[in-house]
């Protein structure tokens, strides 16, 4: 039982670390855009009141491998310059005004589910520490954590995907193509976690039926 408790804590902590790392990675990518904001402020809007300026990260690839290099980096180990290319860029763009309206609304909708999921996560940790693992309450908490946290992340990423599609259609890059959207959350991980939550709930139910029969 103690090994199961330790393993459960490690698994849950790894899930949280991956989610937090993904969120902070997205936040870091949006830093350093002051120049773009200042430049976009001087450009006339396509339609007053219908669009607003923003910055979106695009994944790119070279259309011509011979001209893929954009600069040189100095390598301290070999004491020479080595080429480098960019796989992601930040571009200034125009987004429909409804995107700006939906962003805070979406945050308000998602926030309660995130908080609820985190609370359930800590309650599971406490119950595991007390060696009360296979209970009906933990089955419900695990479902709330998986569907609440992962569902919120998928919803946020879907909103970012929508912005990505809008921008990729209005931006043309010289010698560069635009790659598909890079999802932070893995769809396979999402379905695996959902499957684990349902199997856990089924296991708890079977255990209760067995105890009741005995």
For the stretch 124-137, pLDDT in tens is 878 877 777 788 89
Q: Is residue 165 part of a domain?
A: yes
Report the range of poorest mean pLDDT among 16-20, 151-155, 186-190. Answer: 16-20
Per DSSP, 67 falls in state G
Mind giving me the DSSP string for 26-55? HHHHT-S-HHHHHHHHTSPPSSTTTEEEEE
- Higher per-residue confidence, 212 vs 145: 145
**Any domain includes 64:** no
Tell me which residue range forms the domain holding 182: 2-59+90-213
- Give pLDDT, residue 117: 87
**Residue 128: inside a domain:** yes
Q: Please indicate, yes or no, if residue 173 is contained in any of the structural domains.
A: yes
**Of 33, 84, 21, 37, residue with least CA distance to 57:** 33
Closest CA to 182 of 56, 96, 85, 65: 56
Number of separate domains in the chain: 1
Residue 98 maps to a domain? yes
- pTM here? 0.71
Q: Could you report the per-residue pLDDT of 97-118, keeping only the tens digit for each?
A: 888 889 889 989 988 988 898 8
Instruction: Tell me how many helices (H) and strands (E) the chain has.
Output: 6, 5
Written in H, E and C, the secondary structure of 146-209 is HHHHHHHHHHHHHHHHHHHHHHHHHCCCCCEEECCCCCCCCHHHHHHHHHHHHHHHHHHHHHHH
- Residue 85 forms part of a structural domain: no
pLDDT for the residue numbered 103: 87
Instruction: pLDDT band for 27, please (50, 70, 90 cuts).
Output: very low
Do the domain assignments include residue 102?
Answer: yes
Note whether residue 66 is domain-resident.
no
Report the mean per-residue pLDDT for the chain: 79
């Amino acid at each position: 039982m103690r090994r199961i408790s330790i393993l459960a804590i490690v698994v849950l902590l790894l899930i949280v670390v991956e989610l937090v790392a993904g969120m902070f990675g997205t936040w870091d990518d949006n830093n350093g855009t002051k120049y773009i904001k200042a430049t976009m402020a001087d450009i006339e809007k396509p339609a007053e009141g219908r669009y607003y300026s923003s910055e979106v990260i695009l994944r790119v690839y070279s259309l011509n491998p011979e001209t893929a290099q954009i600069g040189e980096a100095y390598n301290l180990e070999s004491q020479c310059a080595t080429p480098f290319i960019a796989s992601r860029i930040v571009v200034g763009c125009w987004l429909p005004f409804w995107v700006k309206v939906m962003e805070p609304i979406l945050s308000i909708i998602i926030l309660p589910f995130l908080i609820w999921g985190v609370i359930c996560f800590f309650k599971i940790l406490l119950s595991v520490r007390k060696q009360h693992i296979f209970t009906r309450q933990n089955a419900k908490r695990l479902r709330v954590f998986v569907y609440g946290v992962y569902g919120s992340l998928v919803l946020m990423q879907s909103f970012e995907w929508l912005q990505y599609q809008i921008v990729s259609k209005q931006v043309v890059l010289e010698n560069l193509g635009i790659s598909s959207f890079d999802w932070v959350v893995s769809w396979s991980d999402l379905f695996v976690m959902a499957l684990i939550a349902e199997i856990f709930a089924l296991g708890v139910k079977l255990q209760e039926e067995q105890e009741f029969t005995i």
